[in-house]
Amino acid sequence: MLLLSATITTSSASVEINQQAPDFTLTSIYGTSVTLSNYRGRVILLDFWATWCGPCREEIPELSQLYSTYKDQGLEIISIDLQEKPSDVRAFAKQNGMVWTVVVDLNGTVADEYGIEYIPTLVLIDTKGKISCMHIGLTEESVLASEVEEVPYIIGNLSSAISVEISEQVLLLGQAIGVQGALQPPLPSVSVKITYNRPDGIIINKVVMSFASGLYNDSFVPDMAGSWALKASWNGDPNYAGAETNLVSFVVKAPTTITISPLPLAYTIGTLAVVMIGALFIVRSRKRRASPV
């Protein structure tokens, strides 16, 4: 008979779906402090396990594949070993390619808080810190992936969470440029920061709010000719920290003017003298013709 999980001794405490996940701070196998709430805004998969647990060891390749697929899209895995020596766990993790965060629950207090009775137990936490789902026993990567994909508004390239378009790519100084974009998901009343990069390197930030449709817009009048750039980003929402567009470039041209350069003073005086001499010559010639014979 295939063993799918191992039994451990734990308290009667338990957690439920949609409950806020109990916060904790544990030490990683490399000596760093790991606090769950510091990962707020990302999807967290807690993996309660132990090196002596056969199903836990069998599940490692499934977790490895899941992590490889989703690590750049907002997923963090925290494997919580139960009450083993950190040095032994570190050696095991290195040998088995556990490249994600691995911590040790030396006293079993975190396992108690989560009501863990069997290992492996997986707890999926959304970006708001709430428990989305739980799995007890060996779980395949395909099942985990489907669960991860169903967590609302979380998994995905953060750059796709916001878009931006401009009305003109070339405009004249003094002319307004129109900026518009959309949020994904299309949430209303979200603060959107639009960052304008001036040609001289000065940054100008404007904040606008999204409409009920999730769309936003802005109108901006550049105050300098040259090459400009702008980008838009979610502003102040930890669930979308880092969600921003690529830079969009546009050019502002100075209006065309006709400039009449003044003539050099010497040239002007010389021209005037020639005109005056010519006029005097004409007057004298007329006087000579009018004289009596």
pLDDT per residue, tens digit, the chain (293 aa), is 334 555 554 444 678 998 999 999 999 999 999 999 888 778 899 999 999 999 999 999 999 999 998 887 778 999 999 999 999 999 999 999 999 999 999 999 999 999 999 999 999 998 788 999 999 999 999 999 888 877 754 445 565 678 999 999 999 999 999 999 998 777 788 899 999 999 999 999 999 999 988 899 999 999 999 999 999 998 876 666 678 888 999 999 998 876 656 655 555 566 656 556 655 555 555 555 544 54
Half-sphere exposure of 51 (CA within 13 A, CB side): 19
Which pLDDT score, from 0 to 100, does residue 126 have? 87
Residue with tokens 């026993």: 137
In the chain the beta strands, taken as DSSP E runs, fall at: 6-7, 25-28, 33-35, 43-49, 75-82, 101-105, 118-119, 121-125, 131-136, 165-166, 170-172, 177-182, 191-197, 203-209, 215-220, 226-234, 248-253
Separation of alpha carbons 268 and 261, rounded Å? 13
DSSP for residue 162: B
Residue type, 162: I
Could you tell me the CA-to-CA distances from 165 to 104, 156, 217, 218, 229 in Å, in that order?
48, 21, 9, 11, 12
CB distance 197 to 247 below 8 Å:
yes
Instruction: Please state, in angstroms and as integers, the Cα–Cα distance from residue 181 to each residue in 184, 209, 234, 236, 252, following that order.
Output: 10, 11, 12, 18, 21
Mention the CATH class of domain 158-253.
mainly beta
Find tokens 């999980």 and name the residue.
5
Instruction: List where CATH 3.40.30.10 sits in the chain.
Output: 6-150
Architecture of domain 6-150: 3-Layer(aba) Sandwich (3.40)
Q: What is the pLDDT of residue 161?
A: 78
Instruction: Give the number of other Cβ atoms within 10 Å of residue 207's Cβ.
Output: 11
Whether 186 and 152 have beta carbons less than 8 Å apart is answered as no
pLDDT at 14: 78
- The predicted structure's pLDDT at residue 1: 31
Q: In sequence order, what are the beta bridge partners of 218?
A: 179
Q: In a 10 Å sphere around its CB, with 0-12 CB exposed, 13-18 middle and 19+ buried, how is residue 213 labelled?
A: exposed
Residue 39's pLDDT is: 83
Q: DSSP label at 128?
A: T
Residues of the chain with CATH 2.60.40.1930: 158-253
How many Cβ atoms from other residues are within 10 Å of residue 50's Cβ?
A: 20
